Structure 1
Amino acid sequence: MYPLSSGQRRLWLVDRLEGASAMYNVPVVTRMRGPLDTERLAAALTDVVGRHEALRTVYAEHDGEPTQVVVPAEEARVDVGLTECGPERADAVVAEHSGHVFDLSRDLPVHAHVVRLAPDDHLLVLVLHHIAADGWSIQPFGKDLAHAYAARLGATAPQWPDLPVNYADYALWQADLLGDPDDPASLLSTELAHWSAVLAELPRELPLPMDRPRPRRASHRGASVQLRAGTGPARRVAELARRSGATPFMVTHAALVATLSRSGAGTDIVVGTPVAGRTEEALDDMVGFFVNSLVLRTDTSGDPTFAELLDRVRETDLTAYAHQELPFDRLVEHLRPSRSLASHPLFQVSFTHTTGPEQPLTLPGLRCAPAPTLLEAAKFDLDVTVVDEGPAGLAVRIGYATELFDEATVVDLGERFLRLLDAVTAEPRTRISEVDVLSPAQRQLVRDTWPGTPAEPPAGTVLDALDARADATPDERALVFGDIRLTCAELRDRVNGYAHALIARGVAAGEVVAVALPRSAESVVAVLGVLRAGSVCVNVTRQDPRAGHLLTDSGAVLVIGESDAYEGLPVLGGASGTRLGRVRGLHVRIDRPP
Structure 2
Amino acid sequence: MWFINRFDASGATYNIPAVLRLTGAGSEASGPNVTGELDVDALRQAVIDVLERHEVLRTSFPAENGIPFQQVGDIAEFDDRRIWQIADSVDGVIAAATTGFDVTTQWPIRVRLAQADSAGQEYLLAVVAHHIGLDGESMLPLVTDIVTAYSARTQGDSPSWTPLPVQFADYAIWQHEVLGSADDTQSVIGRQLGYWREQLAGLPDVLELPADRQRPRVASYLGADHSFDFPREVSDAITATAKRFGTTEFMVVHAALSVLLARLSASDDIAVATPTAGRGQAVLDPLVGMFVNTLVLRARVSGGESFATLLDNVRATDLEAFTHADVPFEAVVEALDPVRSEAFAPLAQVILSFNPAASVADAGVDVGGLRMEPVAVDEVPAQVDLAVMVSTGDADRPWSGILRYATDLFDESTIASMSDRFVRLIAALTADPDGAVGDAELLGTDEMTRVLGSSAGADVEVSPLLVTDVVAAQVTSSPEATALWFEGRGVSYAEFGARVNTLARELISSGVGPDVAVGVCIDRGVEMVVAIHAIVAAGGQYVPFGTDTPADRVQYMVDTAGVDLVLVTDASAHMVSRVGSVGTLVVSCDGDIDLTAPPVSAVDRIAPVSPDNAIYTLFTSGSTGRPKGVTLPHEAVLNRLWWGLDELPIDHTDTVILKTPYTFDVSVPELFAPLMVGARMVILKPGGHTEPLYVAEVIEQTRA
Pairwise same-fold verdict (TM > 0.5):
yes
CA apart distance, 1:280: 3.5
Q: What's the secondary structure of 2:71's corresponding residue?
A: strand
Q: What's the secondary structure of 1:236's corresponding residue?
A: helix
Corresponding position of 2:122: 121
User: What pairs with 1:499-538 in structure 2 (closer than 5 Å)?
Assistant: 509-510=512-513, 511-513=516-518, 531=536, 535-538=540-543
Matched, 1:23 2:13: yes
Q: 1:32 aligns with which of 17, 22, 40?
A: 22
CA-to-partner distance for each residue in 1:516-564, whole Å, 9 max, x for gaps?
99xxx9999986575478642357xxxxxxxxxxxxxxxxxx9976129
Provide structure 2 residue ranges, at least 5 long, that are not aligned to the other structure: 25-36, 567-572, 587-661, 663-684, 687-704
Corresponding position of 2:406: 401
Check whether the contact 1:559–1:588 (CA below 8 A) recurs between aligned residues.
no
CA apart distance, 1:411: 0.9
Check whether the contact 2:482–2:490 (CA below 8 A) recurs between aligned residues.
yes
How many residue pairs are counted as aligned between the two chains?
548
Return the alpha-carbon distance in structure 1 between the equivalents of residues 434 and 211 of structure 2.
31
Return the alpha-carbon distance in structure 2 between the equivalents of residues 582 and 175 of structure 1.
53
Return the alpha-carbon distance in structure 2 between the equivalents of residues 374 and 357 of structure 1.
18
Check whether the contact 1:559–1:587 (CA below 8 A) recurs between aligned residues.
no
User: What pairs with 1:274-313 in structure 2 (closer than 5 Å)?
Assistant: 274-301=275-302, 303-313=304-314
Q: What's the secondary structure of 2:220's corresponding residue?
A: coil
User: What pairs with 1:265-280 in structure 2 (closer than 5 Å)?
Assistant: 265-280=266-281
Distance 1:574 1:355, change over 3 A: closer
CA apart distance, 1:405: 1.4
Corresponding position of 1:544: none
Q: 1:57 aligns with which of 49, 54, 59?
A: 59
Corresponding position of 1:433: 438
Residue type matched to 2:459 in 1?
Answer: G
Corresponding position of 1:380: 384
Provide structure 1 residue ranges, at least 5 long, that are not aligned to the other structure: 1-10, 479-483, 540-557
What's the C-alpha RMSD, in Å, of the aligned pairs? 4.1
Residue type matched to 2:224 in 1?
Answer: A
CA apart distance, 1:148: 1.1
Q: What's the secondary structure of 1:127's corresponding residue?
A: strand
More displaced, 109-118 or 128-137? 109-118
CA apart distance, 1:514: 5.9
Corresponding position of 1:452: 459
Check whether the contact 1:355–1:389 (CA below 8 A) recurs between aligned residues.
no
Residue type matched to 2:55 in 1?
Answer: E
CA-to-partner distance for each residue in 1:383-412, whole Å, 9 max, x for gaps?
111112222212111111112112211111
Return the alpha-carbon distance in structure 2 between the equivalents of residues 338 and 590 of structure 1.
35
Distance 1:63 1:433, change over 3 A: same
**What TM-score do the two structures reach when normalised by structure 2?**
0.69
**What TM-score do the two structures reach when normalised by structure 1?**
0.81
Distance 1:109 1:488, change over 3 A: farther
Q: What's the secondary structure of 2:287's corresponding residue?
A: coil
Return the alpha-carbon distance in structure 1 between the equivalents of residues 528 and 168 of structure 2.
53
Q: 2:367 aligns with which of 346, 364, 367?
A: 364
Q: What's the secondary structure of 1:393's corresponding residue?
A: coil
Comparing both chains, which one has the higher relative contact order based on Cα–Cα distances under 8 Å and sequence gaps of 6 or more? 1
Q: What's the secondary structure of 1:442's corresponding residue?
A: helix
CA apart distance, 1:489: 7.7
Residue type matched to 1:299 in 2?
Answer: R
More displaced, 195-204 or 241-250? 241-250
Check whether the contact 2:59–2:107 (CA below 8 A) recurs between aligned residues.
yes
CA-to-partner distance for each residue in 1:322-352, whole Å, 9 max, x for gaps?
0011111111111111211111111111111
CA-to-partner distance for each residue in 1:473-517, whole Å, 9 max, x for gaps?
538789xxxxx9999889x99xx89x99xx99x986244246899
Residue type matched to 2:398 in 1?
Answer: G
Return the alpha-carbon distance in structure 2 between the equivalents of residues 224 and 258 of structure 1.
22
CA-to-partner distance for each residue in 1:104-124, whole Å, 9 max, x for gaps?
222221122234323222332
Check whether the contact 1:32–1:368 (CA below 8 A) recurs between aligned residues.
yes
CA-to-partner distance for each residue in 1:428-486, whole Å, 9 max, x for gaps?
333322321111211222345374362645676176479679965538789xxxxx999
Distance 1:304 1:574, change over 3 A: closer
Return the alpha-carbon distance in structure 2 between the equivalents of residues 427 and 373 of structure 1.
40
Larger radius of gyration: 2
Distance 1:487 1:565, change over 3 A: farther
CA apart distance, 1:248: 1.7
Return the alpha-carbon distance in structure 1 between the equivalents of residues 131 and 531 of structure 2.
46
User: What pairs with 1:212-251 in structure 2 (closer than 5 Å)?
Assistant: 212-251=213-252
Matched, 1:418 2:408: no
Return the alpha-carbon distance in structure 2 between the equivalents of residues 417 and 173 of structure 1.
41
CA apart distance, 1:12: 1.2
Return the alpha-carbon distance in structure 1 between the equivalents of residues 101 and 201 of structure 2.
38
CA apart distance, 1:25: 0.4
Residue type matched to 2:389 in 1?
Answer: T
Matched, 1:566 2:570: no
Return the alpha-carbon distance in structure 2 between the equivalents of residues 32 and 487 of structure 1.
72
Return the alpha-carbon distance in structure 2 between the equivalents of residues 206 and 458 of structure 1.
35
Residue type matched to 2:49 in 1?
Answer: D
Distance 1:319 1:456, change over 3 A: closer
Check whether the contact 2:143–2:360 (CA below 8 A) recurs between aligned residues.
no
Check whether the contact 1:572–1:585 (CA below 8 A) recurs between aligned residues.
no
More displaced, 559-568 or 436-445? 559-568
The percent identity for this pair of structures is 34
Check whether the contact 1:167–1:288 (CA below 8 A) recurs between aligned residues.
yes
Residue type matched to 2:386 in 1?
Answer: L
Q: 2:78 aligns with which of 76, 84, 91?
A: 76
CA apart distance, 1:82: 3.6
Check whether the contact 1:272–1:295 (CA below 8 A) recurs between aligned residues.
yes
Residue type matched to 2:57 in 1?
Answer: L
Distance 1:529 1:576, change over 3 A: closer
Return the alpha-carbon distance in structure 1 between the equivalents of residues 527 and 319 of structure 2.
49
Distance 1:453 1:42, change over 3 A: closer
Return the alpha-carbon distance in structure 1 between the equivalents of residues 224 and 169 of structure 2.
35
CA apart distance, 1:416: 0.2
Corresponding position of 2:614: none
Check whether the contact 2:387–2:404 (CA below 8 A) recurs between aligned residues.
yes
Check whether the contact 1:114–1:125 (CA below 8 A) recurs between aligned residues.
yes
Return the alpha-carbon distance in structure 2 between the equivalents of residues 32 and 192 of structure 1.
47
Q: What's the secondary structure of 1:132's corresponding residue?
A: coil
Return the alpha-carbon distance in structure 1 between the equivalents of residues 439 and 9 of structure 2.
47
Corresponding position of 2:325: 324
Q: What's the secondary structure of 1:454's corresponding residue?
A: coil
Return the alpha-carbon distance in structure 2 between the equivalents of residues 80 and 166 of structure 1.
23
